[in-house]
Every structure is written in structure tokens, then in C-alpha cells.
Amino acid sequence: MVNRDKSILIIGAGNIGRGVIGGLFYKAGYKLVFYDISISRMKQLNEQGHYLIKRVWPDKKERIVVDKLKVVDSSNEKGLIDAISKVNLVACCVYQGAFESICRNIAKAIKIRMNVNSDYLNILLCVNSLGAPDYFNEQIEANLSGNKEALSYFYQRVGICQALVGMAAMPSTPELLAEDSFAVTTRMGGSVGIDKETFRGNNLEVEGIEMVSRAKEKIYRKVYTGNMKHCMTAFMGKAKNYKYIEECDNDKFIQKCVAGAFNEAEEAVQREFNFDENERQSWRQSILGIKNSNIKDEIARVSANPITKLNRENRFVGPALLWIKHNILPFYLSKGIAYGFLYRDEKDKESIEITDYVEKNGIEKAIRKYCGLRDEEWMLIDLIKKQYEEIKFSILQ
């Protein structure tokens, strides 16, 4: 065994990486090691040597200054490979487009680790990409193909763990950013669940971290219910010209529709995966009980990148197809999808692309293109189309 500092490498120094993951592990005494492809910004963070986190609960607030950190040189891959070979815990807080290169560098680091470090290596996938653990396992295996010793080390010493991030992180207010350009605001009260079935070694003892079972299935529930609920609230709030999510909490029509979509998605997921009933009810209460009165969460942030959010595998179409699979029409989920096609923000390129496409080609072609729905799924296509036409008509009145 090689003695090492208690540290975690965080790949992706965005709001989740710095705010949620960074905050939890810093409070637990870990040294934070950051890697991000934004070279100039990481150079600035390294020179500054600290950053501020504003943590917000329903009934209190807290400010912490993170000053126990290191920044990895991201001008080439060598720094990342070296960092992975030396730490025992890595949190990936990146978008899906970065997965391939990260897997390649993990494989390269494993070839170094197997000769100098017999400790366990756990990769925490703090992402909402469905099927991410399977992708990481397959890609790392492929990159180690033909190297029996490295593959053996991977199978025995490396854990690829789905993480369920149940806290929100967002850009801070202009006033806080004027104080520190790296400041992050996080909504507390939830937890981060780590797949205990794939984690190697002793369980993590970090406040706010829970070791959970069936995490690879529960990520579907998180995305299809929690993330969908948040996004649908934003889509509908934009249609009413609201600026913040908290404004939607007091809108009875939005709350009725969002609750309807949540119930459809949650029931569909339950029929598919059959979670423990007590745990299920606890989950329902935790998601339905989220309020935004103590934090300014902008609708534009939550609604951003609608092409991804409307695609076949994501938070709306995924549970809608599950609902149809179990022989029930997803009335409210289809309404959420329809509002997504009406969402337009002149600062959001994806929303402009979608709405321009609808204007030029019609809503049905747009549904097929962006939701990936097929001829045999005509029922859902028709339902979304009808919802879209009804909502657009009501808005124009």
C-alpha cells in the first residue's frame, strides 16, 4: 500500500464539482484536486488558492471558504493521468461528451497504478447520463484490451460507481460573484447517493454522502422524476414570463401540471423497477417537498439546452414511453414535452434551433426529430402534437 493524503480528484470544476462535491468532501477534511479543460480559469483558481461556497437550507444559510485545494495542469493529458494514478477517489462532474477521453485517461492511469499503487480506485459518476457506469466499464475495458494484468487490476481494484446528486448547484448572485468570481451557491437538504454495490473498499464516511443500493436503476428515477419536475416547472414558467423557479411555486396551474407529470413518471418507474415501497414513499416526499423560496434559481438556467432534455432517452420522453409500455397515456408528461417545444430564449441556441425548426417544418416533424419517436409510437406523437396546439392557442388568446 502507498500512503496518501486524504484527497479527491474532481474532474469538471463547474457548479456541481466545486459546490456540491467539493463542499461535502472539503467539510469532511479532504484535499480537493481539480481538473478542468478551461485552462485560463483553472490557472486563475490556482493563483487565487481558495473559493467561496454559499450553502442554503430551507431554514438557514452557511458560507464556507474552500482553501485546501490543488489545480491540475490541463494543458495536456499528462497531468490528469498522473493525478488519477495517485489518488484513490475521483468524482466525474462532466457532460457526456467528455466521457470518452476520461475513460481513455483512466485506462492509461491504471497501467501506471498497477505497478506502484495497490489501493482501491473509486470513480464516482456525478452525472445524469443514463447508463454511464456501463459506458465507462465498456470503454475502459476496450482501452485495456490485450493487457491481462491491467484488466485484472481494473476488475479487482477499480469501482465505477453511479452517484445520485440530490443537491442543486447554480451560479451565485452578481453581488456574491463580485466578492469571488468562483463562488457557488448550493441548495442543501438532500444527499449524494453512491452505489455501494460497485464501491471498492470501506464505505465513505462523509456527511451528506449515503451508500445506496440499486443506484444504476435509481438514476432513472432521479432523472425521470426529479429532474423532469424541475425542468417542466421552468418550461411552464417561461411561458408565463417568470424569471425565477420560486415564482412557479405560487402558480396553482403550474403546480397541478407538474405534480401530474411527476405522478405519471414516478408510477411508470415504479412499475418498471419495483422499488421498496417505504423507500419509494420517502423518495416521493423528498422530491415533492422541494421548495425554492430561499434561493434565486433562474428559469433560464434550468431550461438550458432543451435539445438534450427533449431527446428520447431523457427526462420527458423516457418516462412517457415507460408509461405507454405499461398501457397508460402520459397526459401530463406530454404536456411538459409540448411546453419544451414552445420554450425560446434568445440567449439559448438550442431553444432557437428547436422553435425555428417547428416554425419551418411543423410540430410533428419536430417531435420526430428531437424526441426520436418512431412511426409505431404514433400515439405519443399525436398526444404531444395536440397538447402543443392547445397550449399555443391558449397563449395567443
* CATH number, domain containing residue 364: 1.10.1040.10
d(CA 189, CA 246): 17
CA distances from 126 to 15, 99, 215, 216, 380 (A): 12, 12, 12, 12, 31
Confirm whether 1 is domain-assigned: no
Residue 294 binned pLDDT confidence (cut-offs 50, 70, 90): low
Would you say 104 and 84 are in contact if contact means Cβ atoms under 8 Å apart? Answer: no
On whether both 223 and 192 belong to a single domain, the answer is no
Confirm whether 271 is domain-assigned: yes
Q: Is the pLDDT of residue 332 over 70?
A: yes
For position 1, what pLDDT does the model report?
31
On whether both 243 and 344 belong to a single domain, the answer is yes
d(CA 196, CA 202): 10
| Domain termination residue (choose one: 184, 213, 242) | 213
State pLDDT tens for residues 313-329: 999 999 999 999 988 88
Query: Which DSSP string corresponds to 96-148?
Result: GGGHHHHHHHHHHHHHHHHHH--S-EEEEE----TTHHHHHHHHHHHHTTT-H
Confirm whether 370 is domain-assigned: yes
| Domain termination residue (choose one: 213, 246, 279) | 213
* Residue 244 DSSP label: B
Task: State the chain's mean pLDDT as an integer.
Answer: 93
Total domains, the chain? 2
The helix/strand count (H/E) of the chain reads as 20, 12
On whether both 310 and 181 belong to a single domain, the answer is no
Sheet holding 209-212, edge to edge: 69-71, 31-35, 7-11, 89-92, 121-125, 158-165, 192-195, 209-212
* Residue 298 DSSP label: B
State pLDDT tens for residues 42-85: 999 999 999 999 999 888 899 999 998 999 999 989 999 999 99
For position 161, what pLDDT does the model report?
98
On whether both 238 and 183 belong to a single domain, the answer is no
Residue 3 binned pLDDT confidence (cut-offs 50, 70, 90): very low
- Which structural domain range is residue 54 located in? 7-213
Closest CA to 91 of 153, 156, 28: 28
For position 37, what pLDDT does the model report?
94
State pLDDT tens for residues 343-379: 999 999 999 999 999 999 999 999 999 999 999 999 9
For position 4, what pLDDT does the model report?
47
On whether both 158 and 235 belong to a single domain, the answer is no
Which has more pLDDT, 259 or 329? 259
| Domain termination residue (choose one: 179, 195, 213) | 213
Q: Is the pLDDT of residue 396 over 80?
A: no
On whether both 197 and 221 belong to a single domain, the answer is no
Would you say 149 and 132 are in contact if contact means Cβ atoms under 8 Å apart? Answer: no
pTM over 0.85: yes
Q: Is the pLDDT of residue 290 over 80?
A: no
What percent of the chain has pLDDT above 70?
Answer: 97
d(CA 48, CA 67): 9
